Amino acid sequence: MLERFRTFWTRVLSPVADALLRLGVSPDAVTLVGTAGVCAGALIFFPRGDLGVGVLVVSAFVFSDLIDGYMARASGRSSSWGAFLDSTLDRFGDAAIFGGLVLYFASIDDTPLAALALYCLVMGSVTSYARARAESLGMQAKVGVAERADRLVAILVMTAFSDWFDLPVLLTATLWVLAAASTITVVQRVLVVRRQAPRSTPA
């Protein structure tokens, strides 16, 4: 479902990407700046309790994930290196978002929610690792109820709404849903890989 939104926003942002290419900006530079912006927005504003402002800053830089991919394709610079860099830096961005929430909950002495946000951070990384490791072994594991884009949109939207409408229950509920969905996704990917993995032959 979110792929349709990705296509829409890519078309909207393509003039910006084309302008950057004309200025000689590389896709890798956009990836690095975008990641730095996401990390700064989450780690500066979230711990201070400025959740809504933090989401706006993070969201602005999240669009770089669409721009750099378009720039790489349009300029003919698509490469394994670019894909590796983009995927690796995505992990930093995701960790900063949930890490910022961990620091926020810690600052208001809400240890249970800090622990829950930390669990979501860890499981998000495990979810991505399970797929990457499966693909490195020649198998597929692109299954599950909690893809990265879904997790990112859900946490950003509900974090903003919980702040703007003074409804912290929205953020709490979202973290619980993401924790459960990430856990289910990891289990699904493990089972899918288990079915694909060749059986060992007894000696």
- Active centre residues (catalytic): 90
DSSP code per residue over 43-104: HHHTTTT-HHHHHHHHHHHHTHHHHHHHHHHHHT---HHHHHHHHHHHHHHHHHHHHHHHHH
**From CA 60, how far away is CA 41, in angstroms rounded?**
10
The token pair at 68 is: 């750099």
Please classify residue 176 by burial: count the beta carbons closer than 10 Å to its beta carbon, then call 0-12 exposed, 13-18 middle and 19+ buried: middle
Name the maximum alpha-carbon separation found in the chain. 64
**From CA 124, how far away is CA 185, in angstroms rounded?**
10
**From CA 165, how far away is CA 9, in angstroms rounded?**
26
